[in-house]
């Protein structure tokens, strides 16, 4: 339910949905009331204060209802929780996350700067040096700045502290190594993810993702189709599995299966509207621009042009208005560039891609701009197929590679020496706080250092 309404100067999508569905008002009063009742019974219960903050985050702005902006209440509730339980790592992480990005703090004045974010993480680590989630935040910041080598190092630190929960760290290490071109090492970490039960952690050969020629080879298309079939037959709930399978089959030259899984997904949620494949509840659309744009090429391939145009309209946003956060957190320049590409505004798409590449990263993440998407995102195919804009896109891809070159060099050295700790430079480190396990002699890229 985490979604944000548009400013009043434009017809607010979320506000319109709120007015059309009284159940939302009932849910708001009910969900806000529960933690408040708990606080009345136990005023010093830190968990209750944390839950109150979480509930505020689920119901941001509804202008016509007169609901007040929740950032102040969220911050007050979280600070109260921290005051009651200053060593609660999860509350610290939630506070930093909530007020470092647009999603929970759409107003710039409520948002932590990058320096403030790092200062907050450092302060939290002094209290909780073994909080793995805080190291994950440092990894996300490093990745957003193009320092993939440091992101890998922080994820490794996270994995050291939480080896029984390998999903985020192990799969991200595999992904980042793959982005830097270290395929063999990435495969080693991907195998760790699959052993832990995360079979979608690079189920297919990572060589497929190193070039478009390899990606569209018959072998790699067959692998993606196999992954799609596993997704559909998995225990994943809802329509999510069908949607993910559609994405895989779309690049495997099987439009018949794409159509079959679209129909099966719609039947599962009881709808005949292709746009509803994002979820039975239409409110889901306002926080899913990235996923919505992913569906546009699929709809066009299937001849569902009306659905494609409706999806493009739902995903429209003015990138020059930083306060317009109609579609939740997916409001970065790269997502806007994808929208412009699909709507035929190719010059704007190229300009936005260049801005996304060269812009200093926001506190927690840069968005979805990475090597994989620049090479294979079908939303950018209109640029690839245009003789005027294809060279410009290729130049941006080369610029991205140049941007990552220092990180690749440092990663190669770390893989050779086993020294990852020296890469962790985002905060002022202290030996006691960031002590690491000394590696055994000899490099082993597959072993946690």
Residue 199: the pLDDT is 61
Query: In this predicted structure, what is the pLDDT of residue 327?
Result: 38
| 399 to 27, 356, 358, 404, 405: CA distances (angstroms) | 48, 12, 10, 9, 10
pLDDT on residue 22:
60
The domains found in the chain, sorted by start residue, are 1-111 (1.25.40.10), 130-203+397-429 (1.25.40)
**282 burial via Cβ count (<10 Å: 0-12, 13-18, 19+):** middle
Say which residue the tokens 């290729």 belong to. Answer: 394
pLDDT at 50: 85
pLDDT digits (tens, 9 = 90+) for 322-376: 444 443 444 567 888 999 999 999 999 999 898 888 775 443 344 557 788 899 9
Walk along the chain (449 residues) in steps of 10 and give the mean pLDDT of each run: 30 43 65 85 88 73 46 82 82 80 66 83 86 87 85 93 81 90 91 76 79 93 90 76 89 92 89 80 53 91 94 74 43 82 96 81 52 90 96 94 91 95 80 41 33
Say what the pTM is.
Answer: 0.76
Q: How far apart are the first and last CA of the chain?
A: 39
pLDDT of residue 394: 95
Q: Are 363 and 113 in contact (CB under 8 A)?
A: yes
- Pick the closest to residue 392 from 429, 437, 350, 341 (CA basis): 350
Residue 166: helix, strand or coil by DSSP? coil
H-helix segments, 100-147: 114-127, 132-144
Mean pLDDT of the chain: 78
């Amino acid at each position: 339910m985490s979604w944000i309404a548009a400013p009043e100067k434009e017809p607010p999508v979320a506000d319109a949905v709120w007015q059309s569905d009284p159940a939302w008002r009932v849910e708001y009063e009910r969900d806000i009331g529960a933690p408040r009742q708990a606080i009345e019974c136990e005023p010093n219960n830190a968990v209750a204060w944390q839950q109150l903050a979480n509930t505020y985050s689920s119901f941001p702005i509804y202008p016509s209802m007169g609901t007040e902006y929740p950032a102040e209440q969220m911050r007050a509730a979280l600070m109260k929780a921290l005051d009651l339980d200053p060593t609660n790592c999860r509350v610290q992480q939630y506070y930093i996350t909530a007020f470092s990005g647009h999603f929970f703090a759409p107003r710039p004045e409520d948002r932590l700067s990058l320096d403030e974010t790092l200062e907050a993480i450092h302060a939290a680590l002094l209290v909780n040096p073994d909080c793995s989630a805080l190291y994950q935040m440092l990894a996300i910041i490093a990745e957003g700045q193009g320092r993939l080598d440091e992101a890998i190092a922080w994820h490794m630190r996270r994995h050291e502290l939480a080896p029984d929960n390998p999903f985020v760290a192990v799969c991200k290490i595999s992904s980042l190594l793959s982005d830097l071109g270290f395929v063999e090492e990435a495969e080693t970490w991907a195998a760790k993810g699959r052993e832990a039960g995360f079979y979608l952690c690079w189920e297919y050969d990572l060589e497929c993702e190193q070039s478009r020629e390899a990606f569209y080879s018959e072998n790699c298309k067959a692998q993606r189709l196999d992954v799609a079939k596993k997704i559909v037959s998995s225990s994943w709930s809802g329509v999510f599995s069908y949607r993910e399978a559609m994405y895989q089959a779309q690049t495997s030259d099987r439009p018949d299966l794409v159509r079959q899984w679209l129909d099966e997904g719609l039947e599962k949620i009881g709808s005949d509207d292709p746009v509803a494949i994002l979820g039975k509840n239409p409110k889901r659309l306002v926080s899913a621009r990235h996923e919505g744009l992913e569906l546009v090429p699929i709809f066009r391939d299937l001849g569902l042009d009306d659905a494609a145009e409706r999806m493009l309209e739902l995903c429209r946003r003015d990138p020059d208005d930083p306060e317009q956060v109609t579609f939740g957190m997916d409001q970065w320049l790269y997502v806007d560039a994808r929208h412009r590409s699909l709507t035929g505004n190719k010059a704007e798409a190229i300009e936005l891609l260049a801005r996304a590449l060269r812009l200093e990263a926001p506190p927690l993440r840069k968005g979805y701009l990475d090597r994989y998407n620049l090479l294979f995102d079908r939303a950018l195919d209109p640029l690839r197929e245009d003789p005027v804009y294809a060279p410009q896109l290729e130049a941006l891809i080369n610029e991205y590679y140049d941007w990552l070159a220092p990180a690749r060099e440092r990663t190669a050295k770390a893989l050779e020496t086993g020294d990852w700790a020296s890469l962790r430079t985002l905060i002022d480190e202290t030996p006691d706080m960031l002590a690491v396990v000394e590696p055994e002699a000899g490099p082993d890229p597959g072993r946690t250092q």
